[in-house]
Amino acid sequence: MSLVVDLFMVLLILTSAVWTVLARDRRDAVIAFIVLGLQLSLVWMRLMAVDVALTEAAVGGGATGLVLLRACARLQPVEAEGRLPGLRAQIAAGLLCAGVGVALAAVILAPAAPAPSLAPAVAAHMDEVGLKNPVTVVLLAYRALDTLLEKVVLVLGLIGVWALAPDLFWGGRPASLRAASPSGTLTFLARVLPPVGVLIGVYLVWNGADHPGGTFQGGTVLAAMWLLVMMAGLGELPETRALRLRRLVAVGPALFIAVGLAGFWMADGFLSYPPEYAKPIIVAVEVALALSIAVILGLMVAGPAAKEPER
Amino acid sequence: MMADATTPGGGLLVLALMLPAVGMLAIFALGLRHAERIAHATLLAGLAVALAVAVKVGQSGQAMTYLIGGWRPPLGIALQADGLSAVLMVMTAVILCAVGVFARGSFSSPRDGAETRRPFVFWSLFLGLWSALNCAWLARDLFSLFVALELLTFSAVPLVCLDGSRETLRAALRYLLFALAGSVLYLMGTGLIYGAYGTMDIATLHHLTRADWATSLALGLMIVGLMAKAALFPLHLWLPPAHAGAPAAASAVLSALVVKAPFVLILRLWFEVAPQPASTPAGAMLAGLGAASILFCSVMALRQARLKLMIAYSTVAQVGYLFLVFPLVMGSAAVTPWESVGWTGGVLQLVSHAFAKAAMFLAAGLIAEALGHDRIADLGGAAKAVPVTVAAFALAGLSLMGLPPAGGFIAKLMLLTAAVETANWWIAATILAGGILAATYVFRVVGSALAEAPEGAGTTAIARSRELAVLALALIAVALGFLPLQPFDYLAIGRGGMP
Amino acid sequence: MTPATLYGLCAAALVAIGLFGLILHPTPLRKVISFNLIGSGTFLFFGIAARRGAAAGFLGDPVPQAMVITGIVVAFAATALAVALLLRMLEAGAPTVDGPPEQPDDLSP
Amino acid sequence: MSLLLDLFTIVAVSSGLFFFLAGTVGFLRFPDTLTRLHALTKADNLGLGLIVLGLLPRCPDLVSALKLVAIWALVQLGGATASQLIAEFARRGGGR
């Protein structure tokens, strides 16, 4: 019975995917992609990965979708829609892709038995970290290096986006996110929702130590609230040269590295935590990271500086 | 070798990884005039760390290992410096230091204290790149290596379009799309590997991998993705415009170091993850594509009118040599791959090309600054305006052609010896043909630079320290030629447990 | 057939569809969207491995789940960078005099 | 007692699902943007409301019940605002 539901879900997903690729209009493609992101977060629920489902909905569908939609709005007057090349090229590429798909499907159909897993190893050492959400334990203890480096990736990505500003505008504000004609409805939402949203974001971060949730999910919600306020025209984006902003971006990764290095003296080495303080340290790092992630995501959506810095 | 415990001094590996990242964050958070000073302080500290690691590895004759957070793989992540990693780390540090000296001229902050775009972006990404490279050399976990590749992409792409012109933006976008496609294929392979073996740790996988087709598919996807990032023919199309469009200091780093990271990953996958003995047809195919890179892109280099584009095509050709090692090592009579002449020759080619190519790109940058253009046909007078730079270019060229006594000579001689030893005659012929083509395109430039200056051509003065930095790189490329002509024991350090 | 296997097949199809778009679409924005499709399929492979590896009281192996979270965030950053780049490219206007001839938005090799 | 609660849940959730179905059919079949929006928001809010109502007796504690109600309230707010925005956009002649 449940497999019928899954089958239906798969059909929906494949429809969205095909629409994403084949839609003539690029905005249709983006909307199909956002729908796909939401469907995929349901799939992650079915796969019992709640943390991933939250991330996929917030980042995969939400933030990525917003970036793509904004791109559409700015491309509309400038760039013509591209067309897929002729039928012969389509058939050739289709055969190649189908081949790849079939090969991958064959691997899925012949799984290793018994399925290999690190779950027992994760469970065996959970006590040493003192958190109850295994995904957070993996992200902030066992594989903390990956998480740390990925924060560095985010900062580099932001520098990369900023680097695209013309020299004259360096340090200025990004292009305004404000809707062309802000409507009363949006302003209303931007006044009512943020307090609730911030509460939810903080809850997700706080809760992430022991239950599904965590820095990304919470940080993305915080970023969304910030962006909403900007879009309604209730606030302006800060100048990219503002040191306070820069420090907000850097505080998460910097604290993470500092805690990691402190491990040389206080625990068994880089990125290890003294057992009795592991939980408070990790939660503190998560809070700082969520703050930085919120600011970075917001700034990445906003794009490079587009105005001269004010004197 | 299994990474069982942290070895003494292993903390140095963490420093090598984190120092540049801390420097990058400091530039970002402090802004203003500090960028260059922070970068130079980091360069000195990072060079010291790299040398310390190399000395320690050499003294102990053992790989250095560091278990992050004390968690043992497969649950945790291990950093490990074997002989190869140590050599790569020192190579990276030395080249980046030279580029750092060179870039003082082009990316200095203005004195009035306002932060400007180019110095800020250049120095912060420069340090980000260093973290990424050290991560690629040291990580022993397929997923951490994915993160390293992403770090590399994110720091390299914006450097390509630093001048903001439409062509460089187009080149950067194309580079980004190729790099992302490569990343996603690599990630897909790691996903399949995890599904089959339940670990990402290379040392653990070494004993687990089976010669079944699911494993082959996973490794194939990863290697194809890495090929796109290493610009192996026919996936090289993004490289020439990107490397030629970047500012000289960035081009040098991109061509000398960044394209080497995916190759080293392929090397590790091939010899440390893939079930041994690795597939012979696949090795021959990689070598075939390498040979195609050498021949096709050397000819393309000959046909370029602009100096930087020529050097960029030459990069694709020289990276092609690296891919020749697979059949040479597999067919060799040596007991382990690390004891074969082909392996040593390949690594030596990697290192000597890195120094030579960095020198060439920096020299091209100085010549362009001195003359105001980089059209090969009109380089007359360059030898008078910047004699040291032109000499450095010629010395680096020696290494590319494979003429004695340069490092490239020893590398190519070793590859040639291995090709003859394993009866791969077509590889031997390619190596010789590639050398002749390289000689032609290098002499074309040097000949033009030695010509008399055309009437009325003005030149700009160049700081001597920048010329000397370029010369130092070229001299190192040549000095590598004085290494003993035999499998190099240092490169085999840390491979005791490998069959 | 378990749900995991079914979604695994779905992931293979997603990769194939995304690859098709990446190869064929001439405009960079559509290439970026297609790249995200391939990425989604790839992440699902990790999810399948996680679900099949359920053990020790967990409903899924948390290690690949954590990797997917990292991967999703990196993919977002890549998308944001690519979009910023292509918007800037369109704004940069006409190429300089000795640049290559104008090909409006064709990035396919 | 528990049988009665079960019955209540079943009836409420099923009628909630019915409203979702009706809303979707309306969305697909109605001719223009405004009527489609009407179908979607009316039916979905009622549908979700009924499902939440049906699930309330099953909550183990007060906090999860409050969470359910909060979700319903947020969706109300989000749905109402979004449809307002879409309607304004449509009335100004945007869209297709």
Nearest to residue A78, comparing CAs of C105, C21, C109, C35? Answer: C105
One domain, residues A144 and A278: yes
> Residue B455 CB: number of other CB atoms within 10 A?
5
- Report yes or no on C64 lying in a domain: yes
Chain C residue numbers with beta carbons less than 8 Å from the beta carbon of B147 are: 70, 74
Task: Tell me, yes or no, if A246 comes closer than 8 A to chain B by beta carbon.
Answer: yes
Residue ranges, chain D, pLDDT below 50: 95-96
Binned at pLDDT 50, 70 and 90, residue C105 comes out as very low
Domain range list for chain B: 1-140, 141-276, 281-499
Last residue of a domain, one of A32, A58, A83: A83
Residue A307 and residue A173 in contact, taking contact as beta carbons nearer than 8 Å: yes
A260-281 pLDDT tens trace:
998 888 888 888 888 888 888 8
In the three-class reduction of DSSP (H, G, I as helix; E, B as strand; rest coil), residue B136 is classed as helix
Same domain as A127, residue A77: no
Write out the residue range of the structural domain in which residue C20 sits.
3-91
B150 chain-C contacts, CB cut-off 8 A: 74, 78
Q: Which of C46, C61, C77 sits opposite B191 (nearest CB)?
A: C46
Burial of B35 (C-beta count, 10 Å sphere; 0-12/13-18/19+): buried
Mean pLDDT of all residues in B127-134: 95
Using the predicted structure, report yes or no on whether residue B258 has a pLDDT greater than 90: yes
For A113-154, how does the pLDDT look when each residue is reduced to its tens digit (9 = 90+)? 788 888 888 888 888 888 888 898 899 889 999 999 999 999
Q: Are residues A24 and A165 in the same domain?
A: no
Give yes or no for a contact between A308 and A172, defined as CB atoms under 8 angstroms apart: yes
Torsion angle of the four alpha carbons B45, B47, B51, B52, in this order, in degrees rounded to the nearest 10: 10
Cis peptide bond prior to B277, omega within 30° of 0: yes
Asked if residue A206 is part of any domain, the answer here is yes
* C52 Cβ under 8 Å from any chain A Cβ: yes
What integer pLDDT is reported at residue A252 of this predicted model?
A: 93
Q: Name the packing angle between helices B166-197 and B213-230 (round to 10°).
A: 160
3-state secondary structure D74-92: HHHHHHHHHHHHHHHHHHC
**CA A35 to CA C20: how far, in whole Å?**
20
Calculate mean pLDDT across residues C23-41. 92
Classify burial at B281, counting beta carbons within 10 Å of its beta carbon; exposed 0-12, middle 13-18, buried 19 or more.
exposed
Number of domains in chain C: 1
CATH number at residue C45: 1.10.287.3510
Measured distance CA(C54)–CA(B120) in Å, rounded: 47
Is residue A106 situated within a structural domain? no
Instruction: Give me the helices (H) in B31-165, please.
Output: 34-60, 83-106, 117-138, 142-160
pLDDT at C104 (0 to 100): 40
| Cα dihedral A206→A212→A217→A218 (10° resolution) | -20
- Pick the closest to residue C38 from C75, C89, C67, C84 (CA basis): C75
**Cα D67 to Cα D85: distance, rounded to the nearest angstrom:** 27
Does some domain include residue A261? yes
Kindly determine whether residue A116 and residue C70, on different chains, have CB atoms separated by under 8 Å: no
CB contact under 8 A, A117 and B198: yes
Which segment of A48-57, B283-292, B401-410, B472-481 scores lowest on mean pLDDT? B401-410
- Between CA B148 and CA B173 the distance in angstroms is 20
User: Closest approach of chain B CAs to the CA of C58, in angstroms?
Assistant: 15
Q: Determine the length of chain B.
A: 499
d(CA A56, CA C40): 9
- Asked if residues A166 and B164 have their Cβ atoms less than 8 Å apart, the reply is yes
Judged against a pLDDT cut of 70, whether residue B159 lies above it is answered with yes
Q: What percent of chain B has pLDDT over 70?
A: 94
Residue A209 or B394, more confident? B394
User: Which residues, listed in sequence order, are joined to residue B80 by a DSSP beta bridge?
Assistant: B65
Q: Mark B211-233 as b/e (b = at least 16 C-beta within 10 Å).
A: eeebbbbbbbbbbbbbbbbbbbb
User: Can you tell me which residue has the tokens 């004197």?
Assistant: A311
pLDDT of B41: 92
Quick one: A150 and A263 in the same domain? yes
pLDDT band at A73 (very low <50, low <70, confident <90, very high): confident
CB atoms within 10 A of CB C34: 26
Q: What range does the domain containing A65 cover?
A: 1-83
What average pLDDT does this structure show over A184-198?
85
CB B383 within 8 A of CB B450: yes
State the Cα–Cα distance between residues B416 and B483, nearest whole angstrom.
17
Can chain D be said to touch chain C, i.e. do they have 3 or more Cβ pairs within 8 angstroms? no
At residue B212, φ and ψ (nearest 5 deg) are -105, 170
In a domain, A74, yes or no: yes
**Mutate which: B6, B18, B149, B190, vs A, most A CBs within 10 A:** B18
pTM for the structure as a whole? 0.93
At B263 the pLDDT is: 95
Q: Which of B154, B161, B173, B176 would you mutate first to test chain A, the one with the most A CBs within 10 A?
A: B154
Judge: C49–B194 Cβ closer than 8 Å, yes or no: yes
Q: Looking at per-residue confidence, does B499 or C58 come out higher? A: C58
Query: Is this complex's ipTM strictly greater than 0.95?
Result: no
Condensed to tens digits (0 to 9), the pLDDT of residues C60-101 reads 899 999 999 999 999 999 999 999 999 988 877 644 333 343
Which residues on A lie below 8 Å from B216 (Cβ)?
none
**pLDDT reported for residue C31:** 93
Domains of chain A: total: 2
- Give the C-alpha separation, A181 to B362, whole Å: 51
Does B have 3 or more CB contacts under 8 Å with C?
A: yes
Q: What angle do CA B271, B273, B277 make, to 5 degrees?
A: 50
pLDDT: is A75 or A301 the higher one? A301
H or E segment and range at residue B401 = helix B387-401
C59's tokens: 């409903």
Q: What is the residue type of B293?
A: S
Q: What is the pLDDT of residue D93?
A: 66
Residue A221's Cα: distance from chain center in Å?
Answer: 10
Domain for residue C101, yes or no? no
Residues 6+ apart with CB under 8 A from B243: B160, B251, B254, B255, B308, B311, B312, B315, B361
Residue predicted with more confidence, B278 or D28: D28
User: Averaged over B54-73, what is the pLDDT?
Assistant: 88
The chain-wide mean pLDDT, for chain B, equals 88
* Model pLDDT, residue B423: 85
For residue B308, give both structure tokens: 């930087």
Burial class (CB in 10 A: 0-12, 13-18, 19+), A19: middle
Query: What confidence category does residue B1 fall into, taking pLDDT thresholds of 50, 70 and 90?
Result: very low
Asked if C94 contacts A157 with a C-beta cutoff of 8 angstroms, the reply is: no
What is the C-alpha separation between A204 and A199, in angstroms, rounded?
9
What is d(CA D38, CA C37) in angstroms, rounded to the nearest whole number? 32
Residues of A with Cβ-Cβ distance to B128 under 8 angstroms = 152, 156, 159
Contact check, Cβ <8 Å, A159/B121: yes
Phi, psi dihedrals of residue B228, rounded to the nearest 5° = -65, -35
Cβ-proximal residues to A105 (8 Å cutoff; 6+ apart), any chain? C8, C9, C12, C13
What is the pLDDT at residue C27? 87
Is pLDDT above 60 for A10?
yes
Query: C-alpha angle B296/B300/B302, rounded to 5°?
Result: 120
Residue range B300-349, pLDDT digits in tens: 999 998 999 999 999 999 999 999 998 888 766 666 777 778 888 899 99
CA distance A95 to chain D (A): 34
Does residue A89 belong to any structural domain of this protein? no
Total residues belonging to chain A: 311
pLDDT: which is higher, A18 or D23: A18
Q: Is A66 in the same domain as A199?
A: no
Is the residue at C103 inside a domain?
no
Neighbouring chains to A with at least 3 Cβ pairs closer than 8 Å: B, C, D
Decide if B155 contacts A153 (C-beta within 8 A): no
| Domain assignment of residue C46, yes or no | yes
Residue matched to tokens 């900062």: A155
pLDDT band at B3 (very low <50, low <70, confident <90, very high): low
**CA within 13 Å, CB half, B334:** 20
Q: Same domain for A75 and A126?
A: no
